Amino acid sequence: MDAGAEQMNDRKKGALLGLAWGDVLGCPVETWRKHEIRSVYGLFTDLPDTYPLSVIPERKKRKLRPPGLHSDDTQQALALLQVCLSHRGWNRLAWKEMLVQGWKREAWRGVGRNFVRAVQQMAKGRKVKVAGSPSAGMGAAMRVGPLGALFCKPEEQERLLRSVLESSLATHADGRAAIFAAVVAGAVAGFVRGESREESLKSLPRYAEEAEAFVTLLKQEGWKVENSTMLLSGPLREAIQWADEPVETMRENISNRARPQLQKGFTRAHPNQGFVLLGGLHGLLMAHRREADPRETLLSIIREGFDTDTVAAIAGTVLGARFGVDWVPDHRLVDKERIGGYAESLFTREVPETMDTFIRRERQLTREALEFQAI
């Protein structure tokens, strides 16, 4: 194998391992506020080996998982890869089966209410094209980055868009959620192909435009898409100018740009909140900063609090595609060997396990998490 192919494979693996590491690194303080993180950890600098339980509030202890155990962010990324690598390839009915069986067999953990609502609708027999919840949250963007590594070739563009957009709309039927997910996957694909940071930034609005056009096609095919006229290409064209501003200025710009589109219930336009133009855009821009150091970038995100694992997962998948795997301490992942196998499948294209094996393993890990929380 030549050096170019090795570098590409390294970046492909990075797209999944970076996602998984961002996920597990952010899990210990998921939903915490900035001042709460500081009061317990001071300057949060790494995944703790053990939790300082004596200083963690009781309400926070109930949500802790074993350090290094991935959440639904990585779960769903692996699930998507399992479907896409199976003999049928991407198939919306196989995705529905994965989601529903995972739900019935209690494999999913830490999932959001919009995901739950959509999967329950599918379990009741609702067609996958119309089951999605009306959410512009990050639940699709957090899982799709590795698809950009799997389908990174220019001639695979249609396959990438269809798998990303259909899998996204199945659970998050707001056009902004699906289009932003396609932008994340597009950024990963570009970095895997060897694009520079500057080239990737300039491409983000184009990825949105391509996804917007494809969403129009999917609507004609019967997919439910809400807010399909609220395009993201324009906001992204503006946002890419912020990538190298001082980080606090960048975060303030993100908050101000998102505020007019916030739904009722958002108390703050915080850059780590679970809306694609808040947390999603924050993770994407942080991963594109000129001076970005992967480890410090993730820590900077996590120290801000709120949806720490998901924003870090989005940033991590892009950083992994940009920088490869050397920065990822994969020995800290509880399920290192299995996740590593999926990372290698991004270039071998060999399905690592069956759907049944996937669900059984994730169910086992979910039970371990629940047992940990009960102690």
Residue numbers in the known binding site for Mg(2+) are: 71-73, 307, 309-310
Alpha-carbon span 113 to 165, nearest angstrom = 20
* CB burial of residue 337 (10 Å; 0-12, 13-18, 19+): exposed
CA 66 to chain centre: 20
Place of tokens 């101000």: 256
User: For residues 279 and 306, is the Cβ–Cβ distance under 8 A?
Assistant: yes
Q: How many CB atoms lie within 10 A of CB 267?
A: 7
Residue 174 pairs in a beta bridge with: 226
Residues 68, 332: contact at Cβ < 8 Å? yes
Annotated binding-site residue numbers: 71-73, 307, 309-310
Residues 6+ apart with CB under 8 A from 231: 179, 208, 212
In 3-state terms, what secondary structure has residue 172?
A: strand
Backbone angles phi, psi at 133, to 5 degrees: -80, 150
Q: For residue 250, how far is the Cα from the chain centroid?
A: 21
How far is Cα 136 from Cα 277, in angstroms, rounded to an integer? 9
User: Within a 10 A sphere around the Cβ of 268, how many other Cβ atoms?
Assistant: 12
